[in-house]
Amino acid sequence: MKNTFTKITLATRLVCICYFTTAFQQAFAQEEDRFSMDVQLFSDQFWGFYPYFSGAYKLNSKLDFTFYGILWAGGEGAAWGNWTEFGVGVGFEPAEGIYVSPQIGILGGSLLSKGADGSGILGDGIVPNFTVTLKKAKTEGEAAIWYYAPLRNEAPMGGTTLSYLHYLANFGFKASEFLSFGAHYEKLINTGGSNIAAPSTELEWLGPYIQFKNPKGGAFVRFTFGKDFYEGNESFYRLATGFSF
């Protein structure tokens, strides 16, 4: 009788252990599914080399908490006080295949508050931004706008603060799960500063892109090139690669 009771107790414990282990694994998997992140590397002749990351955590079935960062210091940002950008916001899908994300970022560096003159400071500027992403079976696209505004005036005597409006749009077709192509437009405007009288265009790009992507997801390479309408420039080119996890 005692041996039978011992066997039943042992079996009960094993069942409980298996149950709680399975429940924990399922809970962990569900929690892991709520988090996503993309890491991308860019290189072009204006900003140089700059890594970019963006992520999301599902708050519920309709709303995500989002975050992003740009490590501008790898390119021209090295001359702007080790310029960096970090922001948070929300994301949601108002219609199938369309993802909207309003965010706000903060900058460290010297570009906005000092006109790229001097060492970097935290709170160089603030960046409200808005992105719409299109992901359909046969089409893809993105439209985004950022406004870079200085948070303070630390410009030396005779210097200036700076502010920028940056926007872009691209749209493409998926020839296959591996290949897509389309058109890209982008513009950057210096909207003013403490010693700047009128806005001026810094770049205006228009041209095609071609993209190769892992059909199973996770990695891509995109090459974009075309005409730069900024006076004195002839062409632009940008190479991007990245992966998701």
Please measure the distance between the N-terminal and C-terminal CA atoms of the chain and give it in whole angstroms. Answer: 55
- Ranking 89-98, 99-108, 123-132, 194-203 by mean pLDDT, the lowest is 194-203
Kindly state the DSSP code that residue 53 receives in the 8-state scheme.
Answer: E
- Of all residues in the chain, what percent carry a pLDDT higher than 70? 87
Q: What is the CATH number of domain 35-244?
A: 2.40.160.40
Burial of 69 (0-12, 13-18, 19+ CB in 10 A): middle
Kindly list the distances between the CA atom of residue 110 and the CA atoms of 53, 66, 107, 119, 206, in Å, as whole numbers in the listed order. 22, 26, 9, 6, 29
Residue range 165-193, pLDDT digits in tens: 999 999 999 999 999 999 999 999 999 99
Domain parsing of the chain, residue ranges: 1-33, 35-244
Residue range 7-27, pLDDT digits in tens: 556 555 545 444 444 444 444
pTM: 0.85
Kindly state the DSSP code that residue 156 receives in the 8-state scheme.
Answer: P
